[in-house]
Amino acid sequence: MTTADGGWIVIQRKIKDSPVSFFRNWREYEDGFGDISKDFWAGLKLMHILTQSDQWEMRVDFKKQDGSWSYIHYNQFKVGSAGERYKLTVGGYTGGDGDYFAGGNEPANSKMFTTFDNDNDLSHDNCAVHTSYRSGWWFHSCVDINPNAPKPYYNWPNTAEVMEMKIRLKDCITCV
């Protein structure tokens, strides 16, 4: 809550070598799972409800193998409705360790969510069942970055030891 002037809501946390599996079905990703103090997914329904109105921003903090922390920040974050397959909208990368969600050849931005039992990615295969991923995510195709993947996090900077996605109302003056 206190990172970068506070007001953040943690929507995802993944700790390397945790016994909690992110290889879950559609319903579990919709409803959320895990323990907020450990590995955690807040749920697609909640993410949609929070972000359907107002402007939200996202910050992703991650601990590198060398023990240092880094981050990624976006000025825009929104998760679409169930009917839109929880389409992700991120934009306005403002700095940090790289534009992993909206940049590159296969960004998660504007993609629908995929799980092993609900394939919405753009690949001819279901990326959620690919051995490198084995989790739900906003896949473009099966070479994306996926912080929910089992260790090591495929293509994630320095195979992060801990990763947290956080959101808050944009330009929140009374958050602290």
Domain residues of the chain, as ranges? 3-169
* CA nearest neighbour of 71 among 166, 169, 174: 166
Q: 108 and 85 in contact (C-beta within 8 Å)?
A: no
pLDDT tier at 98 (50, 70, 90 boundaries)? confident
Q: So what's the pLDDT on residue 94?
A: 86
Task: Answer positive or negative: Cα dihedral of 158, 164, 169, 175.
Answer: negative
Q: Are strands 9-15 and 56-63 parallel, antiparallel or unpaired?
A: unpaired
22: alpha, beta or left? (left if phi > 0; alpha if psi -120 to 50): alpha
pLDDT, tens digit, 9 for 90 and up, residues 116-137: 999 999 888 898 998 677 899 9
DSSP states of 67-128 as a string? S-EEEEEEEEEEE--GGGTS-EEEEEEEEES--TTTSSSS-STTPPPBBTTB--SSSSS-GG
Confidence at 30, pLDDT banded by 50, 70, 90: very high
Q: Is 2 helix (H, G, I), strand (E, B) or coil?
A: coil
Cβ-based neighbour number of residue 172 at 10 Å? 16
SS3 31: helix
Name the nearest CA neighbour of 95 among 124, 131, 63, 59.
59
pLDDT tens for 139-150 read 888 766 778 887
What's the CATH architecture for 3-169?
Alpha-Beta Complex (3.90)
- The CA distance from 137 to 74, in Å, is 18
Phi-psi region of 172 (alpha: psi -120 to 50; beta: other; left: phi over 0): beta
* pLDDT value at residue 150: 75
122 within 8 A of 151, measured Cβ to Cβ:
no
